[in-house]
């Protein structure tokens, strides 16, 4: 009897638990959508949502519209002032630190994302975003000589997602650079200060590859490319051993030097380690005192390292990486693969498959707080890259779809 009674009681408890679970299922489903909404907002905006925003996002997720929920999260000021700013700032300096002030490079990327423009324009368009104070004392004017305008814009914590605060302008109108010489963020003051100052302008190409194609020079080495446009400053026998050149130096310079030639008329007049200085550009008719032609001095320095090397005559460039192992970067067949100046080079890079893949991977790291690692992650990155390329190259949509993938199921 005791055993029968015990079994009967156990059955009753199991039935009660099952009934309780059935009653709880709607609440569990609701908690799931709410938790997804909260995680999606935290990942995109970096701050907790208000109850009203959370309710609206939850409703969209429950209705099967997670992208709409992500769009709500992207309306938060912190998406622009924090998430985007932290993602982009390392692209603007050689140290690749995010702990640097707002600048024209970062502000321009933020503005392009906010306005949902074709993100490829970031590397070649005549575009620059500047700030306007909505009230109170005016901001310092944009200056070619310093970054005070953006430092003050950030200090006031103005909403960069507000199109009355951050305005799109023609870069040529703001800086005085000829429109044909503008190349999006490549000719911003911040990029010029970081990558055109001193050196040989190869840094601008290297960091553009790193920041926008997710490839450093080690990853694009190819010693099968012809060395005919490697400059004179590269020794063909480093340390007296020509094998070093053929085994190491040529692999980078054969492809890099013909591309970096696009920047032959650019320099930065300033002192390394100091905040001041401005972009310098030789216009048509300008003559460099050292070269005697339009090409900047830095392209002809250390000519005795190999006197038979290439002497840069102009800013014409050619992409030798369209053939060989780097053909897999997916160069656009509709483009000629060569041209003059930074603008056409920026377009060559921005129209590659590698550019699209790189943007998605950077957003994935920003939103998901990790690099893609699993098969599912890589499948998601590939799918989002396809969407990015086939839907106007909208980085806003990349954020929405990536956030939806990483919000959890």
Task: Write out pLDDT tens, residues 187-233.
Answer: 999 999 999 999 999 999 999 999 999 999 999 999 999 999 999 99
pLDDT the model gives residue 135: 79
Q: Where are the beta strands (DSSP E) in 231-330?
A: 266-269, 278-281, 316-318
pLDDT the model gives residue 25: 35
Q: Is 181 left (phi over 0), alpha (psi -120 to 50) or beta?
A: alpha
Q: Is the pLDDT of residue 31 over 60?
A: no
Asked if residues 276 and 267 have their Cβ atoms less than 8 Å apart, the reply is no
Tens of pLDDT, residues 156-176 = 999 999 999 999 999 999 999
Q: Is 126 left (phi over 0), alpha (psi -120 to 50) or beta?
A: beta
Q: Which helix (H) or strand (E) holds 168?
A: strand 166-169
Chain-centroid distance of CA 324 in Å reads 26
**pLDDT band at residue 128 under the 50/70/90 scheme:** very high
Average pLDDT over residues 37-54: 97
pLDDT the model gives residue 1: 45
Q: Is the pLDDT of residue 314 over 50?
A: yes
pLDDT the model gives residue 130: 98
One domain, residues 213 and 117: no
Q: Is the pLDDT of residue 11 over 80?
A: no
| 3-class secondary structure, 316 | strand
Q: For residues 118 and 354, what is the distance between their CA atoms, to the nearest angstrom?
A: 16
Beta bridge partners of 281: 266
Q: Is the pLDDT of residue 245 over 60?
A: yes
| pLDDT mean across residues, the chain | 93
Average pLDDT over residues 319-344: 98
Backbone angles phi, psi at 175, to 5 degrees: -100, -20
One domain, residues 214 and 316: yes
One domain, residues 104 and 30: no
Lowest mean pLDDT among 85-89, 133-137, 227-231, 256-260: 133-137
Q: For residues 111 and 82, what is the distance between their CA atoms, to the nearest angstrom?
A: 13
Give me the number of domains the chain comprises. 4
Q: Is the pLDDT of residue 136 over 80?
A: no
One domain, residues 310 and 388: no
pLDDT the model gives residue 38: 96
Cβ neighbours of residue 346 closer than 8 Å, sequence gap 6 or more? 123, 124, 183, 184, 186
One domain, residues 288 and 185: no
How many Cα atoms are found within 13 Å in the side-chain-facing hemisphere of 273? Answer: 0
One domain, residues 166 and 293: no
pLDDT the model gives residue 22: 37
CA angle 100/138/143 to nearest 5° reads: 50
One domain, residues 62 and 188: no
One domain, residues 210 and 328: yes
Kindly state the DSSP code that residue 142 receives in the 8-state scheme: P
Backbone angles phi, psi at 116, to 5 degrees: 55, 45
One domain, residues 177 and 208: no
One domain, residues 247 and 344: yes
| 3-class secondary structure, 167 | strand
What is the sign, positive or negative, of the torsion defined by CA atoms of 89, 90, 95, 97?
A: positive
Q: For residues 147 and 125, what is the distance between their CA atoms, to the nearest angstrom?
A: 21
pLDDT the model gives residue 28: 33
Pairing state between β 166-169 and 278-281: unpaired
Q: Is the pLDDT of residue 4 over 80?
A: no
Q: Is the pLDDT of residue 24 over 90?
A: no
Asked if residues 350 and 123 have their Cβ atoms less than 8 Å apart, the reply is yes
One domain, residues 56 and 91: no
Q: Is 143 left (phi over 0), alpha (psi -120 to 50) or beta?
A: beta
**pLDDT band at residue 18 under the 50/70/90 scheme:** very low
- Domain carrying residue 6: 2-68
- Which of 151, 169, 195 is where one domain is finished? 195
One domain, residues 120 and 171: yes
Backbone angles phi, psi at 293, to 5 degrees: -135, -170
**pLDDT band at residue 12 under the 50/70/90 scheme:** low
- Which of 10, 42, 68 is where one domain is finished? 68
pLDDT the model gives residue 272: 87
Tens of pLDDT, residues 97-113 = 999 999 999 999 999 99
Give the pair of three-digit tokens for residue 269: 């007049």
């Amino acid at each position: 009897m005791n055993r029968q009674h015990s079994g009967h009681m156990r059955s009753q408890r199991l039935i009660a638990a099952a009934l309780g679970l059935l009653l709880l299922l709607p609440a569990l489903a609701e908690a799931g959508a709410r938790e997804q909404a909260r995680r999606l907002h935290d990942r995109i905006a970096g701050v907790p949502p208000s109850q009203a925003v959370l309710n609206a996002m939850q409703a969209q997720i429950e209705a099967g519209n997670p992208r709409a929920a992500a769009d709500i999260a992207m309306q938060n000021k912190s998406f622009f002032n924090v998430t985007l700013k932290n993602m982009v700032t390392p692209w603007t300096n050689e140290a690749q630190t995010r702990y640097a002030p707002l600048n024209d490079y970062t502000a321009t990327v933020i503005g392009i994302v906010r306005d949902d423009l074709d993100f490829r324009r970031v590397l070649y368009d005549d575009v620059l975003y500047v700030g306007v104070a909505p009230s109170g004392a005016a901001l310092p004017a944009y200056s070619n000589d310093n970054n005070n305008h953006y430092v003050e814009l950030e200090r006031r914590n103005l909403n960069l997602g507000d199109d009355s605060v951050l305005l799109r302008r023609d870069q040529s109108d703001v800086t005085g650079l000829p429109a044909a010489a503008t190349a999006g963020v490549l000719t911003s003051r911040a990029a010029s200060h970081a990558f055109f100052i001193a050196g040989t302008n190869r840094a601008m190409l290297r960091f553009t590859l790193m920041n926008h194609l997710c490839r450093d020079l080690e990853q694009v080495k190819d010693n099968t490319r012809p060395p005919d446009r490697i400059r004179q400053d590269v020794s063909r026998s480093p340390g007296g051993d020509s094998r070093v050149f053929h085994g190491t130096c040529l692999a980078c310079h054969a492809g890099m030097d013909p591309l970096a030639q696009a920047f032959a008329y650019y320099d930065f007049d300033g002192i390394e380690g100091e905040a001041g200085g401005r972009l310098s550009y030789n216009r048509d008719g300008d003559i460099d005192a050292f070269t005697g032609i339009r090409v900047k001095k830095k392209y002809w320095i250390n000519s005795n390292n190999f006197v038979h090397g290439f002497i840069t005559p102009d800013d014409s460039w050619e992409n030798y990486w369209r053939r060989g192992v780097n053909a897999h970067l997916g160069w656009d067949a509709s483009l000629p693969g060569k041209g003059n100046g930074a603008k056409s080079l920026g377009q060559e890079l921005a129209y590659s498959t590698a550019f699209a893949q790189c943007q998605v991977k950077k957003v994935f790291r920003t939103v998901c707080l990790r690099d893609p690692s699993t098969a599912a992650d890589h499948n998601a990155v590939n799918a989002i890259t396809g969407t990015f390329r086939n839907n106007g190259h909208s980085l806003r949509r990349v954020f929405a779809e990536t956030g939806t993938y990483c919000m959890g199921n």
